[in-house]
């Protein structure tokens, strides 16, 4: 009569069988497994190295951006954008070229776009904003709205409207949302899309009746109705 195994013996037996199978598999595929393990270790090492390198790059960019920000605040947009040979400083453009993949480099894109626009170069400003990654939350609203303003200045009214809608819905609140919906309506009006202009004007009136923009929205709606008759 065969011996009846206890629970502990059964578990031990199962573990031994599993270990034997793993050992057998390892011996058969040892070269591949070791190569794969080395590859994973190298990938992890590279990822960690890249993280610290990028962190260092971002720190360097932050140190350089200070002078450009000072010029920007002073209204010296040329020096802010391209640096000053007299003061041996770099501008936002150079920071973007060298550190464009960092957070500080991305911030420099926004500053560079505004500086370019102030200098009368809308196309260059758009190039910077097209590559800009807006931050989450309320801080992302002004850059997206500014991008819409640039598209308006360039005569790209439908693109401008889409950006204003994006800005309105990026962070829904009682202040920036109705403002950007109204800007979207104006952009659609400029594009000749009266139905869409009405839709976003009505959003302001329906969803934000206590906004200080309701008078402007009502006036715009009156104009839109007159145009559609």
Find out whether 164 and 143 touch, Cβ atoms under 8 Å. no
Both 50 and 128 in a single domain?
yes
Q: How many CB atoms lie within 10 A of CB 66?
A: 9
- C-alpha 32/C-alpha 42 separation (Å) is 15
Evaluate whether residue 59 is within a structural domain. Answer: yes
Both 125 and 194 in a single domain?
no
Q: How many CB atoms lie within 10 A of CB 203?
A: 19
Evaluate whether residue 100 is within a structural domain. Answer: yes
pLDDT tens, residue by residue, 158-181:
999 999 999 999 999 999 999 999
Both 109 and 62 in a single domain?
yes
Find out whether 174 and 210 touch, Cβ atoms under 8 Å. yes
Q: Which residues pair with 89 in a beta bridge?
A: 84
Both 167 and 197 in a single domain?
yes
Evaluate whether residue 25 is within a structural domain. Answer: no
54-63, 116-125, 156-165: lowest mean pLDDT where?
54-63
Evaluate whether residue 52 is within a structural domain. Answer: yes
Both 126 and 150 in a single domain?
no
Q: Which two tokens stand for residue 225?
A: 């109705």
Evaluate whether residue 124 is within a structural domain. Answer: yes
Evaluate whether residue 213 is within a structural domain. Answer: yes
- C-alpha 119/C-alpha 61 separation (Å) is 23
The residue among 133, 167, 200 that closes a domain is 133
- C-alpha 11/C-alpha 77 separation (Å) is 75
Asked whether the predicted pLDDT for residue 23 surpasses 60, the reply is: no
Q: How many domains does the chain have?
A: 2
The residue among 133, 168, 192 that closes a domain is 133
**pTM score, whole prediction:** 0.74
How many C-alpha atoms does 105 have within 13 Å on its Cβ side? Answer: 16
Both 127 and 183 in a single domain?
no
- C-alpha 114/C-alpha 105 separation (Å) is 15
pLDDT tens, residue by residue, 60-77:
777 788 888 899 999 999
Q: Which two tokens stand for residue 169?
A: 């819905």
Both 124 and 141 in a single domain?
no
Find out whether 195 and 179 touch, Cβ atoms under 8 Å. no
The residue among 101, 133, 165 that closes a domain is 133
Q: Quote the domain boundaries for residue 110.
A: 42-133
* Strand ranges (E), 12-161: none
């Amino acid at each position: 009569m065969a011996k009846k195994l206890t629970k502990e013996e059964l578990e031990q037996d199962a573990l031994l069988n599993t270990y034997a199978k793993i050992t057998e598999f390892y011996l058969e595929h040892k070269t591949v497994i070791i190569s794969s393990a080395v590859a994973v270790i190298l990938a992890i090492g590279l990822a960690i190295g890249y993280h610290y390198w990028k962190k260092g790059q971002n720190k360097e960019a932050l140190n350089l951006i200070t002078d450009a920000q000072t010029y920007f605040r002073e209204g010296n947009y040329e020096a802010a954008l391209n640096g000053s040979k007299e003061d041996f400083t770099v501008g936002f453009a150079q920071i973007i070229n060298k550190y464009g993949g960092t957070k500080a480099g991305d911030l420099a894109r926004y500053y560079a776009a505004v500086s370019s626009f102030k200098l009368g170069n809308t196309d260059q400003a758009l190039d910077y904003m097209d590559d800009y990654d807006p931050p989450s939350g309320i801080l992302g609203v002004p850059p997206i709205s500014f991008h819409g303003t640039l598209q308006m200045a360039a005569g790209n009214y439908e693109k401008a409207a889409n950006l204003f809608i994006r800005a309105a819905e990026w962070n829904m609140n009682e202040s920036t949302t109705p403002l950007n919906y109204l800007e979207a309506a104006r952009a659609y009006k400029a594009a000749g899309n009266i139905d869409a202009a009405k839709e976003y004007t009505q959003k302001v009136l329906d969803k934000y009746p206590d906004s200080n923009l309701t008078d402007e929205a009502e006036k715009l709606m009156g104009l839109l109705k007159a145009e559609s008759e």
